[in-house]
Chain A
């Protein structure tokens, strides 16, 4: 079963714009992580936020976590064509990650 639900399912933006992706989940977590997947490839870890953290930054990425609302958001600033990929949120609990269905991001040059 998939715990996280990302929103929107697909997002198309112009290069240079910001992309915001949301994730909601249902049960208690230790942490929440975001991954990226290029078509036909494996997943690449982007960022991890622990359940006691509210915001975290890594380069052009900013992730927030609201445990009271069981939701997270990923912001990619100044997007590039190379950011085109699928993005997944994953909730960490009980020694494993549970992934959502993903968001398809298209960045137009």
Chain B
């Protein structure tokens, strides 16, 4: 396992179509994050999972967005009825959270991202 992998790396779709992105985290990591990044901006938090539980969702995550991590391993991010404003880089990251050490927000390991273009 060499790191976080994301698929596809690039996706071009027409407005109104549904798209799904997949993220495979580092295998021993129990936390998985999704961020969105638009040109010239920093990553914006969307949601995160600890194991299979989705613990927080940003207000940026509208009803058209849904994320899952069914078995606590890989995760999917689906966008329904895409809009041009959804065009962005979608970044996945994973980390290891260890309660007894109280490392609340440690280093995140990012994938290369999935770039979405909505025409």
Binding site for B on A (CB under 8 A): 2, 4, 30-31, 33, 35, 40-45, 48, 88, 90, 92-102
Contact = CB atoms under 8 A, between A and B. Distances in A.
Interface stretch (B43-51, B62-70, B77-85): B43-51
B77 to A, nearest CB: 15
B105 A93 contact: yes
Given A41-B112, A42-B110, A95 B104 contact: yes
A33 B107 contact: yes
Contacts of B110: 35, 42-44
Contacts of B48: 95-96
Given A41-B113, A42-B91, A96-B105, 4 more contacts: A33-B107, A42-B4, A43-B108, A48-B107
Given A2-B42, A95-B55, A101-B41, A31 B105 contact: yes
Interface residues of B, number: 27
A40 B105 CA distance: 25
Contacts of A43: 43, 91, 93, 108, 110
Nearest to A86: B42
Contacts of B41: 2, 101-102
